[in-house]
Amino acid sequence: MNSRLLASLLLTAILSCTAASAAPTGPVIKLFPTTVLEDIRETSSVAAEMENNLQEIIARLDMQQKLYSESLCDGADGDQGCTRMAKQLGETYLEMLNAMGERLPEMERAVNNTRSSLEKRLRQELGQRTTPTTLQEQLLGQQTATGRTDRPALRGRSGVRLSDRFKQYYDLVATHKNGPSKSLAVVAADIYLDMEEASVLISATQQEIGRAALMEQLNQSFGLITPEMSAVVGGVKEILFGESSNATPIASPPYEIGQTEFVSPLEM
C-alpha cells in the first residue's frame, strides 16, 4: 500500500509537469496569470529540493542493493554478512522515508496552491466565460487547415527529472517558447487534474509514511528486505529522476502537411 501510494504520488507529481504545452492563438484566455506561474515555479523549486535531498540516499540504496544481490544474499537466511547488509539497506530506506516525510508538507502546500489557482482560472475562463462552441474552437484553434500541429504530449512522458519537467512547463506557459500551436486549455486541465490527484495522494502518503516507518523499524530486528521496499525505491527513482519510460500520449495523429482542405458552406 505504502509503496503504491508513494509511487502514485510521485508519478502524479511528475505527470503534472509532463503536460507539455502551450501558447495561445485565438481569443485571449488568461489561464496562466503571474500568480499561477509563480505557483508552478515554486512547485518546481520544491520538487528540486526533494530531488536533491533524495538523490544521495537513493544512490546509496542502489549501491547497497547491488552489493546485496551480488553477494547472493537473496534467500540466504542466517548469513550474518547478508543480515548486516539487509539492516543497512533498511536503515537507508528509513532515511529515505524520513526525507520524504520532511519534504511532503511543503510539496503539499505547493501542489495545493497551484491546484487552487488553476481551479479558479479554469472555472472563470473556461467554465464561465466560454461556451461549449467556443471551447471547441479554442481547442481546435491550434489545428490549422493545412495540417500539422505539435500537440502536447499528455500524461505519461518520462525520462526527465521532476524539477526539469516543471521548469520546462514553466517555460512553456510563461514564454510560449514552443510556438503558437499548443493548447493552454489542455495544459491547464491536465495540470489541474494531476494536482488534484496529487493533493489527495500526498495526504494519504503522509499517513502511510508513519506506518511504513514503524513496520520497517520492526523489520530491522529481522533484517528483511521486503518487495515493498524495492518497489518504493524503484518508483521514487523512476519518478524523480526519469529512469524509465512509460510514455502514453493521448494520441499521435499522423498529420499531413500542405494539404488544403475543402470548406463546405455548411461547416460550423
Partner 1 sequence: MIRITLLGLLLLTAAAGCTTTNVSSHCSLALPGNLDRAISEVEQRLASGCEYQFDSYFQQLLSMAEENPDSENKVRFSDHLLRVNEMGVISQRQAREYYNRYFNVKFVSLSGDYNTCAQACPVQAEVMSNMRNELRDKQVGLLKASDDKSAYYRADHLLKEADLVLEATCRACAAGNPEAVGVR
- Where do contacts with partner 1 occur on this chain (CB under 8 A)? 118-120, 122-123, 126-133, 135-137, 139-140, 143, 147, 151, 154, 183, 185-186, 188-190, 192-193, 196, 250-251, 253-256, 259, 261-262, 264-268
Nearer to partner 1, 194 or 228 (CB): 194
Give the residue ranges of DSSP H helices in 19-33. none
C-alpha cell at 7: 509511487
Nearest approach, Cβ of residue 46 and partner 1 (Å): 22
* Cβ at position 82, least distance to partner 1 in Å: 49
- When the beta carbons of 227 and 254 are compared against partner 1, the nearer one is 254
Closest approach of Cβ 245 to partner 1, in Å? 21
Closest separation between CB of residue 248 and partner 1, Å? Answer: 12
DSSP-assigned letters across all residues of 89-123: HHHHHHHHHHHHHHHHHHHHHHHHHHHHHHHHHII
Q: Give min distance, CB of 190 to partner 1, in A.
A: 6
The residue among 77 and 268 lying less far from partner 1, judged by its C-beta, is: 268
Amino acid 144 reads T
Grid cell in block for residue 223: 533484517
Comparing CB distances to partner 1, the nearer of 120 and 211 is 120
- Closer Cβ to partner 1, 77 or 267, answer by number: 267
User: How far is 242 from 163, CA to CA, in rounded Å?
Assistant: 11
Gyration radius of the chain's alpha carbons? 22
Least separation in angstroms between CB 122 and partner 1: 4
- Closer to partner 1 by Cβ: residue 193 or 236: 193
Cα–Cα distance measured from residue 171 to residue 177, given in angstroms and rounded to the nearest whole number: 7
CA distance 257 to 242: 33
Distance (Å, whole) CA 60 – CA 95:
11
